[in-house]
Amino acid sequence: MLSGADIDALGQKIYKWCQDLFPICRSITGPGTRQTLTYLQDLLPGLTIHAVPSGTQVFDWTVPDEWQIKDAYILGPDGQKVVDFKDNNLHVVGYSIPTNETLTLEQLQPHLYSLPEQPDAIPYVTSYYSKRWGFCLAHNQRELLAPGHYQVVVDSELGPGVLNYGELVIPGESSEEVFISTYVCHPSMANNELSGPTVTAAVCQWLMQQKSLKYTYRIVFIPETIGSITYLSQHLAHLQQHVFAGFNLTCIGDDNAYSYLPSRAGDTLSDRIVKHVMHHIAPDYKQYTWLQRGSDERQYCAPGVDLPIATIMRSKYGAYPQYHTSLDNLDFISPQGLAGGADAVIKSLQILELNGTPKMLVLGEPQLGKRGLYPNMSVKGSVATVRNMMNMISYCDGKLSLLDIAEIINVPFAELYGYVEKLKAVDLLSYE
Burial 167-189 (b: 16+ CB within 10 A, else e): bbebebeeeebbbbbbbbbbbbb
Q: How many helices (H) and strands (E) does the chain have?
A: 12, 18
Residues 141-175 pLDDT 10s: 999 999 999 999 999 999 999 999 999 999 999 99
pLDDT at 108: 98
Torsion, CA 74, CA 76, CA 82, CA 86, rounded to 10: 40
pTM, entire model: 0.96
pLDDT at 338: 98
Rounded CA-CA distance 71/67 in Å is 12
pLDDT at 3: 73
pLDDT at 239: 98
pLDDT at 32: 98
> Could you say which residues of the chain have pLDDT below 70?
1-2, 376-384
pLDDT at 381: 55
Three-state secondary structure call for residue 311: strand
Nearest residue to 360 (alpha-carbon basis) of 388, 397, 390: 397
Rounded CA-CA distance 281/271 in Å is 16
pLDDT at 4: 77
Residues 365-399 pLDDT 10s: 999 989 999 876 465 555 667 999 999 999 999 99
